[in-house]
Amino acid sequence: MSTNYESVKSSKLKFKGDKKKRKRKRQEETKGGSSTWDEDETARHRVWWIVRDILDVKGSVLLEDKVSTSYVMACEDATVALGDVREQHEGPENAEIFTALPGSAADKLAIKTGYDKFLSVALDGSISGRSEAIGTREEFQISFDDGFQVLKGCNGRYVTFNTDGSIGCTSEEIKENNKVLVRTRGDKERKVETLAEKEKRGNVREYETNYVKMYQKFQDKKLKISTNCVKDLKAARKEGRFHEEMLDRREKMKSDRYCM
């Protein structure tokens, strides 16, 4: 008898006059209107959504190989490689979360690892995460296509995902293994400001002072700023190497704990 009860499907009591309610699909608002909520996408990547515009690329980001669906991860030896494929409802590891910063142009960005170093591209196309400041080699040009993005390094070649899990800027043409899915969990409505726009807020001396405060240790309780002329900084800003020039000036200051 118990087996008969178990075979009965329980349901809510229905009364005469009750109207059948239709289930509505959850929708998310986008810039172009509304679209149906992709449950599979949400289950797999959770709160991380694919960017559609350069203004979306800000803060914490994931770099996903569109083919293998693996995330790029920063390794302890300062190299980068593809990580393991994530299961549903399994979030990314800390080593797979990067920070995107605006570059010197509207279509450029810099990528910082969890080790507080910037990704840099060598002339041979190899990618490493050892740089402390943003220069030409630390900037990637991002382009948007139908459902994916591509990143071009300073050597004029695209970020390429190899079958052995290694990554480098080696491809001259866009192929399947160059397609990237940049994901973020930031606010879609907030706009990002380019690095050049931030630097124009004050004069170069004020910007250098704020930059030095982030790294200098105050053993004598005095902030030490380079006494060199600011003309070099102004020229560097026009040439797109403002951070490199500030790093050179920092290296001459003995009180800087990162440049001793």
Residue 79 belongs to domain with CATH number? 2.80.10.50
191 part of a folded domain: no
162 part of a folded domain: yes
24 part of a folded domain: no
Q: Among 134, 157, 184, which residue terminates a domain? A: 184
Same domain, 158 and 229: no
The pLDDT assigned to 23 comes to 42
Query: What's the domain range around 214?
Result: 202-251
The pLDDT assigned to 231 comes to 77
Same domain, 179 and 212: no
159 part of a folded domain: yes
In contact, 52 and 96? CB cutoff 8 Å: no
Cβ contacts of 28 within 8 Å, gap of 6 or more: 34, 35, 37
pTM (2 decimals)? 0.60
Same domain, 131 and 37: yes
d(CA 190, CA 31): 12
Taking only the tens place, the pLDDT of each residue in 134-160 is 999 999 999 998 889 999 999 999 999
Number of domains in the chain: 2
Taking only the tens place, the pLDDT of each residue in 104-120 is 888 999 999 999 999 99
The pLDDT assigned to 214 comes to 62
Same domain, 167 and 240: no
Same domain, 224 and 121: no
Same domain, 78 and 105: yes
Same domain, 109 and 175: yes
The pLDDT assigned to 243 comes to 73
| 204-213 vs 242-251: helix crossing angle, rounded to 10 | 60
The pLDDT assigned to 72 comes to 97
Question: What's the one-letter identity of residue 66?
Answer: K
